[in-house]
Amino acid sequence: MAFDPQPIVEEFHDKYTHQKEFLQVVDSFLNKVTPFIRENPDYQDRGVILRMLEPDQIISFRVSWVDSEGKEQLNRGYRVQFNRALGPYKGGLRFHPSVNLSILKFLGFEQSLKNSLTGLQLGAAKGGSDFNPGDHSDLDVMRFCQAFAAEFFHIANSEADVPAGDIGVSEREIGYIFGYTNKLKRKFSGSFTGKSLESGGSCLRPQATGYGCLYFVEQMLRDNDLKPGKMTANISGAGSVAIYACEKALEMGIKVQTLSDSRGVLVDKKGLDEEKLAFIKEVKMEKRGKMEEVAEKFGLEFEKGKKPWGYACDIALPCATQNELSEEDAEKLIDNGCKVVAEGANMPCTNEAVDLFMKEGILYAPGKASNAGGVSVSAFEMAQNRLGMRWSAEEVDEKLRQTMKHIYQQCVEYGGKINGKPNYVTGANTAGFARLYRAMKNQGVF
Ligand code: NDP
Ligand code: 2IT
């Protein structure tokens, strides 16, 4: 009998009715992998598929702390350990007021397919807290991170669970959590990635997601007879992913017209350059300030409350957050001649937007493929920590390029074509699913 995903969809919608982001990713995954499962009897074990969709373990804890004004503060912390079949649990921590179980389960499941796709020894997890670092002084961020670490130190473990950063968690937060974890464990271990170079981090980890995304785009362009030098790109976000995506795009000769933050979009029709990008890094990454400051300094347009998708471009790179690019935004991009969309963020495009891209023959790269550079360099950081060695930036960059090439090839091989264009989204889901399925199948039922 042909594999039917519908009963699984219905069961999950019944069981997890309020976890809208998690259901979104389950629906999209089952939709993309079903044709492959139907054609391949070796992949039809329903038990494996169901277990793949259920996290191994969800840990939830109270984080109570006292801020520098003596006021008691209360947050919730989580770790969703999704799947251990391919390696130690691996995935970022997110600090953002919106963090809840639905978001962490969607991110954890995405991570399991992404990490599988890299071909590296990486299990999958996601965690974080509803804490907003942007609302607090550096001292209070340290106090919070130490309170978080006090609840979390027994979970972080170089052989069992290795967290990294994500939204709101950069080298600073990893440093505070890592330092306090080591204090409580009475040892120095590689139980986090995204550490500073001085603390055992890897060259190019901050740049890896953005650079990797552009290495993926480079291959999309090459395979489809498009020349980067003649193209314009609109990027959303102004965090580590967006800024390093912008840096690599400029290096490739692409004209970058926008970056954005949670307040609005910065528009530069002439194209951002190195000087402006250096100032954006200073304002957004070092001073954690507002994009308006950049607009003022260079006399650029800042559209409050707007997103980059209403402005014409050839390439759209959503690099901020989930569901930031709706069907309506996709329509605008297509009407204005956009040809390529590659996700730096996790699930930034809604399922409806993706359907429209596929229908209209837009080259579309899903985040689980195009943003996998970050976790790949995390795997290289783990390897360097095990060896007690540091690889040069050139060595890490070469390994990153090779990994992105491997991921790209898997997407092409497993995806086939749709409307005459490579179907990267089916390819990424299917290739990620196939490796994980085989590992789970040969490890038995538990
Ligand atoms: P950062 O915290 O460094 O930056 C996030 C950026 O997105 C900021 O500019 C922020 O604006 C903006 N942003 C956050 N939430 C919203 C929102 N609700 N609406 C509009 N803008 C928003 O995070 P990263 O750059 O690390 O992560 C960005 C995306 O990339 C996330 O989806 C993350 O999961 C994904 N990702 C990250 C990887 C990594 O290695 N860091 C790896 C793979 C994927 P503001 O400055 O105003 O807060
Ligand atoms: O979404 C992601 O891949 C990340 N936030 C990076 C995870 C990691 O462990 O480096």
Q: Are 297 and 288 in contact (CB under 8 A)?
A: no
- Residues 181, 220, single domain; the answer is no
- Co-location of 281 and 317 in the same domain: yes
Domain-embedded: residue 373? no
Residue 240's pLDDT is what?
97
pLDDT at 359 over 80: yes
Residue 164 near ligand 2, beta carbon < 6 Å = yes
Domains identified in the chain, total number: 2
**What does the alpha-carbon distance between residue 245 and residue 256 come to, in Å, rounded to a whole number?**
10
For residue range 207-231, what is the model confidence (pLDDT) as tens digits? 999 999 999 999 999 999 999 998 9
Q: Would you say 318 and 324 are in contact if contact means Cβ atoms under 8 Å apart?
A: yes
Q: Which atom of ligand 1 is nearest to the CA of 243?
A: 25
Please indicate, yes or no, if residue 375 is contained in any of the structural domains.
no
* CATH number, position 70: 3.40.50.10860
pLDDT digits over 158-177, tens only? 999 999 999 999 999 999 99
Domain boundary among 319, 340, 361: 361
In a domain, 54, yes or no: yes
Same domain for 179 and 227? no
pLDDT at 66: 98
130 lines ligand 1 (CB under 6 A): no
**Mean pLDDT, range 376-388, rounded to an integer:** 98
Q: Which residue, judged by its Cα, is nearest atom 3 of ligand 2?
A: 375
Residue 374 lies in a domain: no
Mean pLDDT of the region 199-214: 98
What domain range includes position 126? 6-187
Q: Is position 444 within any domain? A: no
Residues of the chain above pLDDT 70, percent:
100
- Asked if residue 232 and residue 176 are part of one domain, the reply reads no
**Cα of 164 from ligand 2 centre, angstroms:** 6
Say whether both 141 and 237 belong to one domain: no
Last residue of a domain, one of 158, 187, 216: 187
What is the model's pLDDT at position 236? 98
Choose which residue among 94, 118, 167, 375 to substitute to test ligand 2 binding: the one with the highest number of ligand atoms within 8 A of its C-beta: 375
Same domain for 56 and 143, yes or no, is yes
**What are 260-281's pLDDT values in tens digits?**
999 999 999 999 999 999 999 9
pLDDT given for residue 368 in this prediction:
98
pLDDT at 195 over 80: yes
What is the distance between the alpha carbons of residues 5 and 17, in angstroms, rounded to a whole number?
Answer: 17
Q: What is the pLDDT of residue 315?
A: 99
**Nearest Cα to Cα of residue 113 among 381, 431, 400:** 431
Q: Is residue 90 located within the same domain as residue 20?
A: yes
Query: What mean pLDDT is predicted for residues 415-433?
Result: 97
Asked if residue 1 has pLDDT above 80, the reply is no
Atom of ligand 2 nearest to the CA of 378: 10
Percent of the residues in the chain that have a pLDDT greater than 90, as a whole number: 99
Q: Once rounded to an integer, what is the mean pLDDT over residues 281-285?
A: 97
Distances (CA, A) of 128 to 54, 168, 176, 196: 19, 9, 14, 20
Phi/psi at 290 (5° precision): -110, 150
Domain edge (last residue) among 361, 395, 415? 361
Residues 156 and 298 in one domain: no
pLDDT score, position 230:
86
Expressed in angstroms and rounded, the spacing between residue 68 Cα and the centre of ligand 2 is 31
Cross-strand pairs, 260: 265
8-38 pLDDT per residue, tens? 999 999 999 999 999 999 999 999 999 999 9
Q: Evaluate whether 346 touches 21 at the Cβ level (below 8 Å).
A: no
Q: Are residues 162 and 289 in the same domain?
A: no
Same-domain status, 67 and 137 = yes
Could you read off the pLDDT of 311-349 as tens digits, one per residue? 999 999 999 999 999 999 999 999 999 999 999 999 999
CATH code, domain carrying 240: 3.40.50.720
Q: What is the rounded average pLDDT of the residues 62-84?
A: 98
* 158, part of any domain: yes
Question: Would the pLDDT of 197 be above 90?
Answer: yes
Do 167 and 277 belong to one domain?
no
167 found inside a domain: yes
**Residues 335 and 268 both lie in one domain:** yes
